[in-house]
Amino acid sequence: MPSPDKIYPRTGDTQTVYLKNVITKDSIEVGDYTIYNDFVNDPRDFEKNNVLYHYPINSDKIKIGKFCSIACSAKFMMTSGNHSMKSLSTYTFPIFFEEWGLDNKKITDAWDNKGDITVGNDVWIGLEAVIMSGITIGDGAIIGARAVVTKNVAPYTIVGGVPAKPIRKRFSEEVISELLEIKWWDWPEERIKRNIEAIKMGRIGELK
């Protein structure tokens, strides 16, 4: 049986990791078997290189489901990357409270807090895609390479572009509903193993 507890899922491949097992922060949650590939940097440095502006003061989180595939240099833009839009200036005065004699307890006024990033199960995030704060990506979605996701993505929807827009659904609405009900990613490992061929070949009838 596969082991979700090791770092590298493939012998001799140090560019691909089970992401859950290189995460150290409680504010980042990753499900079993989700992989991250990086051929530029060490994939074990995901927290440093791919999760941007993630400061404890905001208590914002990233939640990524099971069996996701995240490509090299995909970025997750957290709350502190959002300069306040209600301000007359985009300059982050509250951060530099010492310089301007401001209240040091109002640092978070410098940005808009749009909330957590939530990624469902079996999601594929393409090369250098950017996921903005507050975004929810549904199960089975595909994010195109270099897309900038500024709006929520529905389950089993392919999006691409800047800003990312829906391109098409992966399956019919009937099949999508069945997949969201089946939730094969929550099955025990042995059951998944028995049904891998049906999953690979799109034989949904065998999964019911």
Phi (first) and psi of residue 109, to 5 degrees:
-70, -10
In order of 8, 21, 82, 113, 139, the CA distances from 90 in angstroms are: 42, 38, 10, 15, 35
Give the CA radius of gyration of the chain. 19
- 54 as an active site residue: the answer is no
Distance CA(78)–CA(116), nearest Å, equals 8
Which of the residues 83, 106, 168, 194 is marked catalytic? 83
Residue 53: closest CA among 109, 129, 133, 107: 133
Structure tokens at 6: 């090791």
Structure tokens at 194: 């028995």
Distance CA(190)–CA(183), nearest Å, equals 15
Residue 143 CB contacts under 8 Å (≥ 6 apart), including other chains: 74, 123, 124, 125, 126, 129, 131, 137, 149, 153, 159, 160, 164
Return the active site residues: 83
